[in-house]
Amino acid sequence: MTNSLGSETLRILLHDYGGYSFTNQLGRTLAGRGHRVLYSYSLTTQLMQRFAPRPAHENLVMAGVQLPRTFNRYSYLRRWRDERLHGRLVGEQVRNFQPEVVLTANTPLDAQVLIQRASKEVKAAFLFWMQDLIGLAAQKNLSSRFPLLGPLLGEHYQQLEKKLVIASDEVILISDRFFSHVRGWGITAERTHLLPNWAPLEEIPLLPKENPWAEAQGLADKFVFLYSGVLGLKHDASLFLALAESFRSDPEVRVVIVAEGPFAEKLQAQACVSALENLVWLPYQPPADYPLVLASADVLMTILNADAGTYSVPSKVNSYFCAGRPQLLSLPSDNDAAKLVSSRKMGLVSEPGDVESWLMNAHALYQNRYNHNQMAMNARAYAEENFDIERITDKFETMMKLALRGG
């Protein structure tokens, strides 16, 4: 496969703190075009492995970063230290690999500082791939947790993010809602690029609901509402309890949660107290089984608190589109994912905190199978229209060219 830079090939360090499958796919595609790619990601913070092992490629180096201790995302001081350490280790990767381009995604700001510094040292072009408004998120979360010092710490992170963005050669935004935020920092339109996230279409094919994974879990003959992913501070997981309670008397329905961690364990304990036998809890599944997990669902769920919806766009909806299943969302109506699902008729959306609407939408999806099937077809069609990795990689190569030429 030729690249959009002509015969020019590059040394590219692609860092994704979360190690998501779509960034991994981008790294593999760039390597397939002749670029030398080092794909860097955190091994310590991953509660689940997000991509399946792939055959080795001579142009691709997989470089997971392992910290010497268990990561604790809920201890601010320890998290700060760990993220700084992660940044130092990735900085060493930059110095050793000597890339011409560094592209970073999902990276904590305390780590990003050190990665960007190392990139400047080796004179690499630096592309800031903004997946969230991290400074704004920090402002809200820290102010809530630490009423006295939190606002000051939050302001520090907002200013730090601004400084890092200004110092970047190009800035990639996954949402047009991020533009006004960045433009307020004086970043020119020429240096900002809108590129929504995607999911690896060929890795999540359309599969039948009756599949080996569903059979093994006793779900093949049930109507399944399924959530798979992290549960944390920005998720109102009590919605799952309410959903299971509303279907308690229907033996055909299961609410399946594939998650781990303290928030998942707490909710599981609450479900046991309430004797919700239709609520099924499973640990994270192997990446190779992920397409079968999604295919086992009749409806796929995403939840996000109101505050989080202003600075975060849940990427799981893209995997759900590939799976060809309708979605049940609890998101602010102005969130990009909510607007997309509503406008393309791929599911139903309720506002965070509106339990009545959430349950009404769930029962509507259960009862109206015609609309349910049409939404499923719309979802897969959207993925096939928009998730062509070759076209997406062309856009990244163009942005790298701009960064190397100084915009």
Q: Which residues pair with 192 in a beta bridge?
A: 171
**Average pLDDT of span 323-347:** 95
The per-residue pLDDT for 372 is: 86
Backbone angles phi, psi at 323, to 5 degrees: -70, -15
| CA 250 to chain CA mean position, Å | 33
Would you say 316 and 335 are in contact if contact means Cβ atoms under 8 Å apart? no
**DSSP code at position 191:** G
pTM listed for this prediction: 0.90
Q: Euclidean distance between the first and final Cα of the chain, in Å?
A: 26
The per-residue pLDDT for 34 is: 96
Q: What is the pLDDT of residues 29-72, one digit of tens each?
A: 999 999 999 999 999 865 545 555 566 689 999 999 999 877 66
Equal CATH topology for 11-198+388-404 and 202-386? yes
Give residues with Cβ within 8 angstroms of 367, minimum separation 6. Answer: none
The per-residue pLDDT for 368 is: 86
**DSSP reduced 3-state for 65:** strand
pLDDT-derived band at 22 (thresholds 50, 70, 90) equals: very high
CATH for the 202-386 domain, from 3.20.20.150, 3.30.565.10, 3.40.50.10490, 3.40.50.2000: 3.40.50.2000
Would you say 91 and 1 are in contact if contact means Cβ atoms under 8 Å apart? no
The per-residue pLDDT for 310 is: 62
Would you say 222 and 247 are in contact if contact means Cβ atoms under 8 Å apart? no
Q: What is the pLDDT of residues 294-321, one digit of tens each?
A: 999 999 999 988 876 566 778 899 999 9
Domain layout of the chain by residue ranges:
11-198+388-404, 202-386
Would you say residue 74 has pLDDT above 70? no
In the chain, the percentage of residues whose pLDDT exceeds 70 is 93
Lowest mean pLDDT among 146-155, 193-202, 226-235, 254-263: 146-155
- Cite the DSSP H helix spans in 175-261: 177-183, 212-217, 238-246
User: What's the rounded Cα separation, in Å, for the pair 255 and 232?
Assistant: 19
**Average pLDDT of span 108-114:** 96
The per-residue pLDDT for 149 is: 79
pLDDT-derived band at 386 (thresholds 50, 70, 90) equals: very high
Q: Which residues pair with 126 in a beta bridge?
A: 102
- The mean pLDDT value of the chain amounts to 89
Asked if the 11-198+388-404 domain carries CATH number 3.30.2130.10, the reply is: no
Would you say residue 6 has pLDDT above 60? no
**DSSP reduced 3-state for 302:** strand
Q: What is the pLDDT of residues 249-308, one digit of tens each?
A: 999 999 999 988 777 888 888 877 788 899 999 999 998 899 999 999 999 999 988 876
**Average pLDDT of span 12-38:** 95
Would you say 45 and 20 are in contact if contact means Cβ atoms under 8 Å apart? no
Q: Where are the beta strands (DSSP E) in 9-165?
A: 11-16, 36-42, 60-65, 101-105, 125-130
**Mutual angle of helices 109-121 and 150-166, in 10-degree steps:** 30
The per-residue pLDDT for 124 is: 98
**Average pLDDT of span 197-215:** 96
Residue 351 Cα distances to 304, 316, 346, angstroms = 9, 18, 16
User: What's the rounded Cα separation, in Å, for the pair 192 and 208?
Assistant: 41
Query: What is the phi-psi region of residue 106: left when phi exceeds 0, alpha when psi lies from -120 to 50, beta otherwise?
Result: left
Q: What is the pLDDT of residues 142-167, one digit of tens each?
A: 777 777 777 888 788 889 999 999 99
User: What's the rounded Cα separation, in Å, for the pair 35 and 94?
Assistant: 16
**DSSP code at position 284:** P
